[in-house]
A and B are shown apart, each in its own frame.
Chain A
Amino acid sequence: MARLIGLVALAGSPALAQEALVTAQLGNAVEVVDLATKKILQSIPVSGAPAGIALSPDRKTAYVTRPEGHGIAVIDLEARRVTGSLDLPGGPLGIGVNPKSGEVYVADWYGARVFVLNPSADGLKREGEIATGQSPSGIAVTPDGATLLVANRESDSVSIIDVANRRETRRVPVGQHPFGLTLSADGRFAYTANVVSNDVSAIDVAAGRETGRVATGQRPYVIALAAGRGFVTDQYSNTVTVFDPVTLRKLAAIDVGDHPEGIAVTRDGKTVVVANWGDNALSLIDTSSLTVTGTIETGDGPRSFGDFLR
């Protein structure tokens, strides 16, 4: 009976049983936010203007970039505390994790390289770097762990990198100044948010070429894919542009908060979560009605650039 009640309760409220990890860049903290209760469960101090975030394959560890502290903070998400750190040169901003090997990739915003880090029993170790275009920013890894994609903001291109050889195999021209980069669930298509040309580029990863673009609001930043649609934060328009990732047609523009930046979808695909840097809040968007269903207050300057829903 108890089990039955448990199941009923679970069926009744599964949608937001998930945590958002908010990098409050001006607040110098990473906040663990419970999406169901809309409460900050824990604020973890992280200095150095934390911005980018990625999670280990088992979702128990967060890696957070500290571009002004020049390094990475490692957070144990069960204990909700910083357990390690690693100094890096340049401007570590974009970050991604290999879903198979757990290898961590960090883009140097001021350079033309991605650092390769490996988690070990003694902590995170730097194991080399991979050459990319200028100002690498958004990072994604295909589900098979074999291919790394990097948006090169100043080179107007995407680097397609063979993980095994740590070498760029192709460079795909896209729109002007790509920042966020998101892969489809099957890893076949990538999408970049081009902040200067105000559009999204679609890329066929295997073919190594751009297949089309869709216009967005001003300063598109990061993309989430959910319920067969694409969602892009428009930093300057204070909107999320919704598009069809196949036909590349614009479907809607949803008003959110000031300077929306990080965006990601919940596990169940029903809610898109947006970090609004300007007004210190998360917006929750229902992916079927395309309306904002709630907001959650955060610390100062939430960015959550990366994989921030646990």
Chain B
Amino acid sequence: MKFRTLAAVAALATVTFAAQAHGPTRQKVSESIEINAPADKVWAIVGNFQDGSWIPVVEKTEGKGGNEPKATRTLTLKGGATVEEELSKYDAEKKSLMYRIEKVDVKVLPVNDYSSWVEVEGDGTKSKLTWRGAFYRGYMNNDPPPELNDEAAKKAVSGLYKSGLENVKAKAEKGS
């Protein structure tokens, strides 16, 4: 899982998305998990934008604006790298939120122009948690190096999502 292993070797260089044209082909990844716990309980874990602790690699969440659109947060990862994010949409009734990464080192997560949705469906006993994202690869020009190509981006995001979903499942099912 690149997000975890590369966090430790995060370089100083960062990429600001607006400054350069992205690659021509946006990618998507979607992961879901069935959880034997009420949807409300699962949403209580993932539905607070100011608390990213359900993502295993996240050590600390600092932010402002609560769960209102345009709220921001900075995730500090184990190893010290940071990810700056902004909340775009939040719907407590639908148990759905969307946010964007404003700034991340491609060595931490090899993506550009990343946005993602976290959604919970279900009832009082069972639920389905979905985390899906849209992004461009880490290298924005032709002929990307292997660690910054489309496959690397998808693999890193998919690994991040799976570990997050499994962690939420473990937390939510404990004691229920």
Contact B134 A93 (CB under 8 A): no
Q: Which of A8-62 contact B (CB under 8 A)?
A: 25-26, 49, 51
Interface string of B8-29 (1 = CB under 8 A from A): 0000000000101101111110
CB-CB under 8 A from B18, the residues of chain A are 177, 196
> B25 touching A51 by the CB < 8 A rule?
yes
Which residues in window 109-141 of B have CB below 8 A to A? 115, 134, 141
Question: A134 vs B20: C-alpha distance in the bound complex, in angstroms?
Answer: 10
Contact with B along A113-151 (1 / 0, CB 8 A): 000000000000000000000110000000000000000
Residue on B with the closest CB to A280? B28
CB < 8 Å A-B pair total? 44
Q: Chain B residues near A213: list those with CB within 8 A.
A: none
Query: Are the C-beta atoms of A301 and B28 separated by less than 8 Å?
Result: yes
**In the complex, chain A residues whose CB is within 8 Å of the CB of B100:** 236
Does any Cβ of A come within 8 Å of B67's Cβ?
A: no
> Nearest-CB distance from B29 to chain A (Å)?
11
Q: Which of A51, A68, A110, A300 contacts B141 (CB 8 A)?
A: A110
Q: In the docked arrangement, what's the CA distance between A196 and B100, Å?
A: 15
Which interface class (under 10, 10 to 19, 20 to 34, 35 or more) fits B?
A: 10 to 19
Interface residues of A in 231-268 (CB under 8 A from B): 236, 259
Q: Determine if A63 is an interface residue (Cβ-Cβ < 8 Å).
A: no
B98–chain A nearest beta-carbon distance, Å? 9
Complex CA distance for A177 and B18, rounded to whole angstroms: 9
Name B30's closest neighbour in chain A (CB-CB): A278
| Bound: A277/B100 CA distance, A | 17
Interface centre among B27, B88, B100, B134 (most CB of A within 10 A): B134
Q: Does B142 contact A (CB under 8 A)?
A: yes
Given A91-B142, A236-B115, A68 contacting B25 (CB threshold 8 A): yes
**A222 → chain B, closest Cβ, in Å?**
14
A278 B24 Cβ-Cβ under 8 A = no
Give complex CA distance A90, B88 in Å: 33
With A110-B141, A259-B134: A154-B21 Cβ-Cβ less than 8 Å = yes
A67 touches B21 (CB 8 A): no
How far, in angstroms, from A218 to B18 measured CA to CA in the complex?
13
Which A residues are CB-close (under 8 A) to B28?
Answer: 26, 278, 300-301
Bound form: Cα–Cα A135–B141 in Å: 11
The interface residues of chain B lying within 8 Å CB-to-CB of A154 are 20-21
A310 at the interface (CB under 8 A from B): no
Q: Which of A276-309 contact B (CB under 8 A)?
A: 277-278, 300-301
**Residue-by-residue, is B130-168 near A (CB-CB < 8 Å gives 1, otherwise 0)?**
000010000001100000000000000000000000000
Give the chain B neighbours of A259 by CB distance below 8 A.
Answer: 26, 134
Q: How far is the CA of A80 from the CA of B13 in the complex (A)?
A: 48
Are B24's CB and A90's CB within 8 A?
no
Cβ-closest chain B residue relative to A137? B21
A301 to B115, CA, bound (A): 15
Residues on the B chain within 8 Å of A90, using CB: 142
Q: Is A109 an interface residue (CB 8 A)?
A: yes
CA distance A135 to B140 in the complex (A): 12
Inter-subunit contact A49/B24 (CB<8 Å): yes
Tell me whether A49 and B21 are in contact in the complex, defined as CB-CB below 8 angstroms, given that A90-B142, A259-B134 are known contacts: no
CB distance from A299 to the nearest CB of B (A): 13
Q: Does A153 contact B (CB under 8 A)?
A: yes
Q: B interface vs A, CB < 8 Å?
A: 18, 20-21, 23-28, 88, 100, 115, 134, 141-142
8 additional A-B residue pairs with CB within 8 Å, beyond A51-B24, A91-B142, A218-B88: A25-B25, A25-B26, A26-B27, A134-B21, A135-B21, A236-B115, A277-B26, A300-B28
Which 6 residue pairs spanning A and B have beta carbons closest together? A67-B24, A49-B25, A135-B21, A93-B24, A91-B24, A109-B24
Residue pairs across A and B with Cβ atoms less than 8 A apart, 7 shown, are A67-B24, A91-B24, A93-B24, A109-B21, A134-B21, A153-B21, A218-B88
